[in-house]
Amino acid sequence: MPSPDIRNRAIRACQSTWNAIAADVETAHYEMASVFPDSSYYRHPMTDDVIAEMILDADRVKMYGDDDEAAAWLYSLPLKEMETIAKEACC
C-alpha cells in the first residue's frame, strides 16, 4: 500500500496538469463541434473518462504536474488505478 502522501501528491500533480491544459482541451473539443456538426460526441461536455485520458496521455503529468516522483509513481500503476486518481483530481 502506497503512502497517503505519494497518492495525494499524484492527485495534486493531476490537478496541476488539468489546470494547465483544460482551457486548450475544452476549446478544441467545442471547436470540433463546428467541424463535425453531426457528431454527438462533440456536442456534449467531455466525460470524466475523456478528461482523465487527457490528463494521463503523453506524459502530461510529468510535464505539468511539478512533481516528477509522484508522476513516476502514478505512471507505474495499472491503467485503471491511474484513471481513478486522475478522475479524483479533476472530476
pLDDT of residue 45: 80
Dist. CA 20–CA 28, nearest whole Å: 14
pLDDT digits (tens, 9 = 90+) for 32-61: 878 887 777 666 788 899 999 999 999 999
Cell numbers for 48:
470524466
- Encoded amino acid at 5, one letter: D
Comparison of pLDDT for 19 and 38, the residue scoring more = 19
Dist. CA 3–CA 49, nearest whole Å: 25
pLDDT of residue 40: 74
Query: pTM to 2 decimals?
Result: 0.85
Report how far apart, in Å, the C-alpha atoms of 91 and of each of 5, 15, 27, 37 are: 20, 10, 18, 26
